[in-house]
Amino acid sequence: MNRPELQAMAEQELERQKKFRCRVMCCTSTACVSSGANSLYETLKPKLEKLKEDVEFVPTGCMGLCGRGPLMTVQLQGQEPVIYENVTPELALEILDKHILAHKPTPIKDKVLPNDWPFFTKQTRVVLANSGAVDPERLEDYVSRGGYSALAHALREMTPRDVCHELIDSGLRGRGGAGFPTGLKWNMVRKAAGDRKYVVANGDEGDPGAYMDRTLMESDPHRVLEGMAIAGYAVGAEQGYVYVRGEYPLAIKRLEKAIRAAERKGLLGSRVMESGFNFRIDIRIGAGAFVCGEETALMASIMGKRGQPVIRPPYPAESGLWGCPTLINNVETYGNITPIINQGAAWYSQIGTAKSKGTKIFALTGNVINSGLIEVPMGITLREIVFDIGGGMVPGRTYKAAQTGGPSGGCIPTEHLDTPVDYESLKALGSMMGSGGLIVMDNTTCMPNIAKFFMEFCMDESCGKCVPCRVGTMQMHRLLEHITNGSATEDDLKRLEELCLLVRDTSLCGLGNSSPNPILSTLRYFRHEYEAHIREHKCLAGECNITEVPVLELAEIKHKTVEVS
């Protein structure tokens, strides 16, 4: 398929869509499916059969408000879309009658999510622009919204060098967490010597409480593929791999389908869009190891080995898969490529702050009212995210902290709620951007206990290669166990802090280096909670079960027995 053909496809699809009086979009991402989205289609199907010419039913990707699913959007020709929450089959039938088919369409008021709601208005959807609006399993739908035009543009009008420099100018930084400038990385791989090069998309989202990559792959798989193809062209690679967690069957299915569809149309494969550029993409399925999110471990896993990190340098950009220069970026990073190529670096760099450009997707979960997937411009304050978009705490509870960066990140307490969310500010607070999990905790959450939870995670996920991470995480977990059950002493706390520093400074890979972060940051802001557990054998949040005989009393008993004898 060449460029005019692509355009024709887009026009044809738009023409087709215009014929319908109404477009009914129903989220079919994992969260909504588990709340019963599939039964909606089953219910509506017989009715819609008769209205085939009139109403189009579109299974789409995520609309964002996952906590209130299933979500359904009704868009009458020439009108604003209306989003319904908690759509049951009965409600779906009612919507069909009163809103879609009635002469005077009347939305069912109390189930409609207002368009001017902060949850929507505070967001800037760049990467998720198509998510919830297109059918992820139809290439035509993606193309009708400008899909693959960025690839066409890059292939026809830009040199690989231009592409890299456009990215450098845009200020895009890696969305996997560390925030390395993407353009620089691409340029390094482009310049690296080697006949064979590889492009890898890291979709091994192991961070508990984060599902941005999953949603992007499920809702808009072609965007990821197009981003990768542009990367392939820019760095001179002919083979790409998407590494997806085995826990994400739907994402795998949709990516497979998307790759096949794109190959059939000549948008991937040999001679992409009738140019001299060849690019194949294969899927590699992860098998349940958090450490494989680390790039060297991920490459080991792609090569069929135990996912153990190796020491850098050499960096993957020089020597990666099978010793060849390899470009590894997060799935979300690839999602940012097409808008940058389409609308230009100047446009992109308007969004965000001086050092952190663009938008970031967060999975907002935990004890907030509106949990879901949000995309916000960099530099937005945490307060806006938690209280405006998230709707604040459940009545009767108060905000305590938000954890960003998952088990590698840290918590942000009330006094720092007005900090702008960008790479540097979060790091200064002892947390990190991470891949984008944002878990809100209220006054019923015990911080030492949360630290223990993360440490258990790190202990389970440690690959075992280096001593500080393998044994250190286990010993830190044991110390935290003593603290939370009330049997720890002041010495234990000192020991814990020392261990944190050892593990941070001497571990081999990023997983080990960052594993003490949850402890260090909770110690920084909630030290009194640790001390309460130790000195008063009390859990301030009332979460920990302190039943064991505290050490202090043991000492007293001993003292008394001495007296008696």
Site for another protein in 110-139 (CB under 8 A): none
Nearer to another protein, 208 or 379 (CB): 208
Site for another protein in 452-511 (CB under 8 A): 453-454, 457, 459-468, 470-475, 478, 495, 498-499, 502, 505-508
Distance of closest approach, residue 441 Cβ to another protein, in angstroms:
6
Nearer to another protein, 17 or 489 (CB): 489
Per DSSP, what are the bridge partners of residue 323?
Answer: none
CB of 127 to another protein, least distance (A): 17
Please state the closest distance from residue 157 (CB atom) to another protein, in A.
37
Contacts (CB under 8 A) with another protein, residues 292-311: 301-307, 311
Of 40, 51, 242, 289, the residue at the interface with another protein (CB under 8 A) is: 289
Q: What does the radius of gyration of the chain's CA atoms come to, in whole angstroms?
A: 26
Sign of CA dihedral 474, 479, 482, 485: negative
Neighbours of 45 (CB within 10 A): 10
Would you count residue 403 as binding another protein (CB under 8 A)?
A: yes
Helices (H), 337-466: 337-343, 345-348, 382-383, 423-428, 447-461
Residue listed under structure tokens 């009708």: 144
Q: What is the DSSP string of 6-38?
A: HHHHHHHHHHHHHT-SEEEEEE-SHHHHHTTHH
Looking at the Cβ atoms of 3 and 495, the one nearer to another protein is 495
Q: Which of 62, 149, 131, 139 is nearest to 338 (CA)?
A: 149
Cβ closest to another protein, residue 329 vs residue 462: 462
In whole angstroms, the minimum distance from the beta carbon of 300 to another protein comes to: 10
**Residue 208 in contact with another protein, rule: CB under 8 A:** yes
CB of 66 vs another protein, minimal distance in Å: 3
Between residues 307 and 448, which has the closer beta carbon with respect to another protein?
Answer: 307
Closest CB to another protein among residues 54, 505: 505
- DSSP string across 454-497: HHHHHHHH--SSSHHHHHHHHHHHHHHHHHHTT---HHHHHHHH
List the one residue from 48, 93, 285, 369 that touches another protein (CB under 8 A): 285
Strand 72-76 relative to strand 410-413: parallel, antiparallel, unpaired?
unpaired
Indicate the residue among 99 and 284 with the shorter CB distance to another protein.
284
Q: Which of 178-186, 207-215, 273-281, 527-535 is the region at the interface with another protein (rule: CB under 8 A)?
A: 207-215
The secondary structure of 101-122 as a DSSP string is ISSS----GGGEEPTT-HHHHT
Q: Does 545 bind another protein (CB under 8 A)?
A: no
* Least gap, CB of 62 to another protein (angstroms): 9
Using DSSP, state whether 244 is helix, strand or coil: strand
Letter for the amino acid at 552?
L
Q: How far is the CB of 33 from another protein (least distance, A)?
A: 8
* By CB under 8 A, residue 211 contacts another protein: yes
- Tell me the CB-side half-sphere exposure of residue 14, using CA atoms within 13 A: 11
Unique residue bearing structure tokens 């869509």: 17
Site track 308-337 with another protein (rule: CB under 8 A), x = hit: ---x--------------------------
Q: Is residue 378 a contact point for another protein (CB under 8 A)?
A: no
Q: Does 397 bind another protein (CB under 8 A)?
A: no
* Best CA proximity match to 199, nearest among 211, 212, 185: 185
Q: Which residues contact 18 (CB under 8 A, 6 or more apart)?
A: 77
Give me the least distance between CB of 32 and another protein, in Å please: 9
For residue 191, give every residue at least 6 positions away whose Cβ sits within 8 Å of its Cβ, in sequence order, or none.
none
Return the number of the residue (66 or 385) whose C-beta is nearest another protein. 66
Choice between 448 and 468, CB closer to another protein:
468
Closest distance between another protein and the C-beta of residue 235, in Å? 21
| 21 versus 470: smaller Cβ distance to another protein | 470
Q: How many residues bind another protein (CB under 8 A)?
A: 77
Q: How many helices (H) and strands (E) does the chain have?
A: 24, 14
Question: Is 427 a residue that touches another protein (CB under 8 A)?
Answer: no
> Is 64:373 a contact under the CB 8 Å cutoff?
yes
Residues 227-246 that bind another protein (CB under 8 A): 246
Q: Report the C-alpha gap between 298 and 305 in whole angstroms.
A: 9
93 versus 178: smaller Cβ distance to another protein: 178
Q: Which of 59, 69, 132, 203 binds another protein (CB under 8 A)?
A: 69
Pair of tokens at residue 521? 């940051």
